[in-house]
């Protein structure tokens, strides 16, 4: 997987413990065209606190053009931003 770290628009739900669960996100491809990627499943999630900055990391499985791939999303709790971290 390659590091991308790009801010994306995310549709997610939060459970009663405040934990986010991403559903699908919108980003732009190389031509600047909007693409929507739906998550097939979350394989793993963990909290990281590098330099004290808390982010929730999600390892996800997605299907893009009939090909299954894995990607990593991050949710930054202080700024409420979602990042496409690696793909």
Partner 1 sequence: MPKKCYFHVDVNSAFLAWEAAWRIQHGDPVDIREIPSVVGGTQATRHGIVLAKSTLAKKLYKAQTGESIFGLKQRAPNILVVPPRHGLYEIASQAFIDHLSDFSPKVERFSVDEAFVEYTGLEKLYGEPEQAAKKLSASIKQKLGFTVNIGISSNKLLAKMAGELEKPDKVHTIWPEEVPQKMWPLPIGELYMVGRKTEEKLKARGIFTIGDLARCKENMLRSSFKSQGSLLWNFANGRCFDTGKAGAANFQGMLPNNKETINAKGLGNSTTIAFDVEDMACAHRVLLSLSETVGSRLRENGYRAKTIHVSYATSEFKRSGKQKTYHFPCASTTEIFSRAVEVFDSMWSGEPMRQMGVWTGGFSIYNNAQVSMFSKAWKQEAVDNAIDKMRKKYGNHAAFRAVFLNSDIRHMIGGTASLRNFPYGG
Is residue 83 a contact residue for partner 1 (CB under 8 A)?
yes
Closer residue to partner 1 (CB): 49 or 65: 49
Instruction: Give min distance, CB of 56 to partner 1, in A.
Output: 12
For residue 11, which of 34, 32, 36, 29 has the smallest C-alpha distance? 36
Q: How many residues bind partner 1 (CB under 8 A)?
A: 14
For residue 82, which of 1, 21, 2 has the smallest C-alpha distance? 21
Residues 61-80, mask of contacts with partner 1 (x by CB under 8 A): -----------------xx-
């Amino acid at each position: 997987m390659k590091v991308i770290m790009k801010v994306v628009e995310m549709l997610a739900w939060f459970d009663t413990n405040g934990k986010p669960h991403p559903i699908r996100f919108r980003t732009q491809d190389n031509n600047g065209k909007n693409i929507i990627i739906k998550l097939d499943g979350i394989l793993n999630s963990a909290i990281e606190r590098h330099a004290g900055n808390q982010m929730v990391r999600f390892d996800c499985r997605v299907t893009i053009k009939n090909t299954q791939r894995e990607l990593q999303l991050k949710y930054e709790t202080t700024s409420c931003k979602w990042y496409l971290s690696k793909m």
